[in-house]
Structure 1
Amino acid sequence: MADKFLIVGLGNPGKQYEATRHNIGFMALETLSRRAGIAGKHDSKFKAIVGTGRHAGKQLILAQPLTYMNLSGESVIKLLNYYDLGPDQLLVIYDEAALPFGKIRVRPSGSDAGQKGVRSIIQQLGGNQNFARLRIGIGSPPAPMAMPDFVLSKFGPDEQKDLPKIIDAALDAVECWMNDGVEEAMTRYNGLQLS
């Protein structure tokens, strides 16, 4: 197993996007930063908030791209190149409307499945899809709400009560991926219902 990893949480910068469904990747990364004691700061060369340090016996680079979701790959490729990391040392955390709220899914690779931040990363990697993802379910919009409005909405009161438990499990899955590999993380966490 590698000793150094880049963990990226996807979201949109700005007050108006804070605590929205589309920003659960940011929320998870901020919680991981606190758990690991790794403070992030704005780094203009990466167009991201970046923190580095050791956690769970590994060297971590934690990043929140500030490019807006659709251009996330611009930050990710700069970070991979600067820290001399391969796609196999990258894990991307983001929201997934095709997953029910309270579910998480670890995957070793795959297409962007319509997620524009992941699409941007794949493009910047020259089409390489072989990097791990952790998708956190946000559920699907109630009719007649449109998907763009739904992903930019805030979690309801009952959902907010369950969010800490869901994010904690997601971060346990990240640590499992780092220490035991993607197959073990999938086996242990992909079947859980956390709400």
Structure 2
Amino acid sequence: MHVVVGLGNPGKQYDQTRHNLGFRVCGELRERLPGGTSRERFSSRVTETGGPGGKVLLIEPQTYMNLSGRAVAEAIGFYKVPLPDVLVVCDDFNLALGRLRLRRDGSHGGHNGLRNVIECLGDDEFARLRMGIGPLEGRDPVGFCLGTFRQEELDEVDRMIRTAADAVLCWLDAGLDAAMNRFNTTGTARETQ
């Protein structure tokens, strides 16, 4: 079993914000993967589906971004999923819009949702897929992350969501190294297709 965690904030008012890219990637994966059934569990929207390599759980914590870790730890503990089989998808204002960065482990990089996941798991040895929403350009980080994309950014955002879902499917099918080799580029989502 593999677990894909999409970080975001619950509620319609947050649907299209920069901070909700993790949820949007889970939505894209729900459309692509067969037989998904969703339910509320572990303070999350949990979708059980199949994918390359077997059963896949898509987890979208409904606890708000900064408290995501408790829900993630509860689900991973219940299913006894080893951390190398977990991938967390989140936004990153330190990456240019459209850039993707997959990593095997590491720090939270200032992302409060990722910070809370690391704290609640007591470990940072899980993969993460960061999706570029930057540059921040001196703007207030909270307002920027909770803001919506500009009209001229929407095509790039849609491309990035599709490419991020491709990266997750590659991780499920061929492993993290293959996904990193294919999707960790210096270009944007447009340039990796």
Which TM class, normalised by the smaller chain length? over 0.9
Map of 1:116 onto structure 2: 112
Pick one of 156, 159, 162 that aligns with 2:153.
Answer: 159
In structure 1, give the amino acid aligned to 2:129: L
Contact 2:4 2:59 in 1 (8 A): yes
Residues 1:35 and 2:32 aligned together: yes
Q: Is the 8 A contact 1:100 1:140 kept in 2?
A: yes
Q: What secondary structure sits across from 1:16 in the alignment?
A: helix
- 8 Å Cα contact 1:33-1:40 kept in structure 2: no
Root-mean-square deviation (CA, aligned residues, Å) is 1.3
Measure the CA separation in 2 of the matches of 1:24 and 1:113.
17
Picking from 116, 127, 133, the partner of 1:132 is 127
What is the distance in 1 between the residues matched to 2:52 and 2:174?
12
Given candidates 98, 104, 118, the residue that maps to 2:100 is 104
Pairing 1:17–2:14 present:
yes
Q: % of aligned pairs identical? A: 38
Measure how far apart 1:194 and its partner are.
Answer: 2.0
Determine if contact 1:102/1:194 at 8 Å carries over to the other structure: yes
Instruction: Give, in whole Å, the separation in 1 of the partners of 2:173 and 2:45.
Output: 25
Give TM-score, length-normalised by structure 2.
Answer: 0.92
CA contact (8 A) 2:2 2:85 kept: yes
Q: Structure 2 regions of 5+ residues with no counterpart?
A: none
Q: Look up the match of 2:173.
A: 179
Distance 2:116 2:141 in 1: 20
One-letter code aligned to 1:125: L
Within 1, Cα distance between the matches of 2:27 and 2:176? 22
Out of 2, 7, 11, the residue aligned to residue 4 of structure 2 is 7
Which whole-Å CA distance do the structure 1 matches of 2:107 and 2:92 have between them?
13
Could you tell me how far apart the structure 2 residues matched to 1:181 and 1:31 are? 20
Unaligned residue ranges in structure 1 (runs of 5+): none
CA contact (8 A) 1:21 1:138 kept: yes
**Rounded Cα–Cα distance in structure 2 between residues aligned with 1:102 and 1:51:** 26
Counterparts of 2:60 and 2:76, CA distance in 1:
14
Determine helix, strand or coil for the equivalent of 2:102.
strand
TM-score by length of 1: 0.91
Q: Quote the offset at 1:125 in angstroms.
A: 1.5
2:183 is matched with: 189
SS in 2 for 1:81: helix
